Structure 1
């Protein structure tokens, strides 16, 4: 580990993009949590069906943890703190379990987003650990 290593330019690209990604997840959760029956009625029929699915409470809890801890992890990463790795680990585990459950309950054409979420979660865990090892985070 090299302390006070110069921050590579890629850090300033990956960090903000990761923050935007996690903010989109947080917004998606808030929209899902606070959508009204009247708003659901205006959606196309296939999208309405998504809001009628009853997920277990643990699934919703993992969704909340994944997106909000992930958002916090991105902020901590941009502040160059080592704690970002542990936060990404928590967020990633939550997202992987949540999306893994979802993958067992959806049709094949719908797997793209859950798989993408898992891949990005794994990348952010790896990237934050690499930043710690490279001395970018202190």
Structure 2
């Protein structure tokens, strides 16, 4: 694709929608890391949930950060038509995998588990995989430089 050729309209739709979605995740990550009690109370985090967050090992925290910030950066790079969006989404998926591994073996408090619907991890993995696939397909079509 010639660099003067206009990108497809759906690049903007996917880029903006995923940036909004990933931005929500980044806000949640930031607010919980800062232990913003106004936010945690607004979101309905029970004290047992906050205690659970405090027990995350460093590698699980790193996974959460990679998942969130890799996705945000991937959306921004997608909008900028950068081929590096692919690598950002790969990093995000690695981060999600690390967090998923930790949460699968952790003893999550029932009050916190009740806050997250059972379909949410499927949605999270599905959207993260879609973002990688979409960036890869845009690179293959010559849209990303």
TM-score by length of 1: 0.82
Q: Secondary structure at the match of 1:129?
A: helix
User: What are the ranges of 5 or more consecutive residues in structure 2 without an aligned counterpart?
Assistant: none
Report if the CA contact (8 A) 1:69-1:88 is conserved.
yes
Equivalence map 1:73-88=2 (5 Å): 73-88=74-89
Higher RCO (CA < 8 A, seq sep 6+): 1
Residue aligning to 2:47:
48
In 2 relative to 1, CA 133–42 (structure 1 residues): closer, same or farther, beyond 3 Å? closer
Which contiguous aligned blocks of 4+ residues in structure 1 show a shift greater than 4 angstroms? Answer: 2-6, 38-46, 103-109
User: What are the ranges of 5 or more consecutive residues in structure 1 without an aligned counterpart?
Assistant: none
In 2 relative to 1, CA 115–100 (structure 1 residues): closer, same or farther, beyond 3 Å? farther
RMSD: 2.7
Q: Secondary structure at the match of 1:10?
A: helix
C-alpha distance after superposition, 1:38-57 (max 9, x if no partner): 65995798632211111221
TM-score by length of 2: 0.79
C-alpha distance after superposition, 1:22-77 (max 9, x if no partner): 111111011111125x6599579863221111122111111111111211111111
**Correspondence 1:121 to 2:122:** no
Residue aligning to 1:30:
30
- Number of paired residues? 136
